[in-house]
Homo-oligomer: A and B are copies of this chain.
Amino acid sequence: MAKKSGELSERKKQILKAIVNAHIEGGEPVGSKSILQSAGMNCSSATIRNEMAELEEMGYLEQPHASAGRVPSELGYRFYVDSLIEHYAMTTQEIAQINNLLRVKMGELDQILSAASHLASSLTNYTGIAIQPRSGSVSISKFEGIFLDPAHFILVAVSSTGTVKTKHIHTEFPLEEPTVAKLTQVLNETLVNLPAERITLPIIMDLESRMGAESGMVGPVIKVIYDLLSDLDSGAVSVSGIDQLLQYPEYSDTSQFRALLGALEKKDDILDLVSTKGNESDISVLIGSESSVKVMNNSALVFKPIVKDGKTLGAIGVLGPRRMDYARVLATLEGLSGNIENLIQPNQQITDGGKPNG
């Protein structure tokens, strides 16, 4: 029996770590002999077997079938990630790649995030994910109408998180430029910083009275604004490098992979996952069934929220098999998110000629 249940001897840790590492690399059950080599241990395979049997009893290892090697269980990975993992240092090449590709993409958040997800995928060889969460209560901090021609104008809305959305609006009755200017002004006077649920009838009536003769356009415009707000609030998930997953044998089961694809497309599950964990600003590691999305039972999702001024603006993540190279993935996400947060703190956008004042 082990000394104390819940306590792992140094040697057990060493063995567990070796097993996890080997299994991450090869994907196949690892046996007692191969451990002797991979970790330079000075004992016999029989001893390792004994230890492995105990580790299995404690729940850290599993055996696919009686005459096979051992595979880390979910608990085993958990322990590995929490206590055994070794920090992976990115190569200068990788760092340079991140810097170069992201610097070019500076600009809107969604573009940065999606570029980051591409990078995450190509650096880790898993699937990269960029998430803009449902924030729950978005409002619009600035409106602007752009007159196009007597039948069309564009409504631009800047959200409280900085996102910009636009909608074309077609009017049946001829429109003049001053009318659009007036609308812009009135909207900014009445609707700024109001979440959808606080745009009530009295406010709309106020808006109509301020528009005077042109009050007829208020109703449709309000509808467009509702659309904009729900757009802003609907969250977005962009996925890159799904094809990468197919290189891992765990996804050769087509039906399971198909279900995973479906979940990624529906995007709801992913958004839920991220928003439940989203208040933390640290990296989350969800291994297998920890994610409560049943189709991800054999997968792992690692993601890091992107935070600015205490607000979670998005997240980038990596999805892969349960036996993913956590060390590398964690390092990559840290590197990416650091870079992104630098880009968002807008400190050098227009000083094109000048050098960034670091």
Contact = CB atoms under 8 A, between A and B. Distances in A.
Contacts of A346: 151-152, 168, 170
Given A107-B168, A168-B346, A246 B258 contact: yes
A146 B351 CA distance: 19
Contact of A108 (B107, B166, B217): B166
Interface residues of A, number: 50
A169 interface: yes
Given A148-B158, A152-B346, A243 B220 contact: no
A353 B251 CA distance: 51
A164 interface: yes
A181 B199 CA distance: 30
B353 A219 contact: yes
Contacts of A348: 170
Given A152-B346, A246-B258, A108 B168 contact: yes
A40 B176 CA distance: 68
Contacts of A87: none
Interface string A236-247: 000011110011
A254 to B, nearest CB: 5
A297 B209 CA distance: 63
Interface in A227-270: 227, 240-243, 246-247, 251-252, 254-255, 257-259, 261-262, 265
A107 B219 contact: no
A154 interface: yes
A43 to B, nearest CB: 41
A322 B324 CA distance: 35
Given A223-B352, A243-B265, A166 B169 contact: no
Contacts of A162: 168
Nearest to A353: B219
Interface string A117-160: 00000000000000000000000001010101001101010100
A171 interface: yes
Given A243-B258, A246-B257, A265-B243, A146 B170 contact: no
6 contacts: A154-B156, A156-B164, A168-B346, A242-B265, A243-B261, A246-B258
The list of the 9 closest CB pairs from A to B, nearest first, reads A170-B349, A243-B261, A170-B346, A246-B258, A220-B350, A164-B166, A220-B352, A243-B262, A171-B350
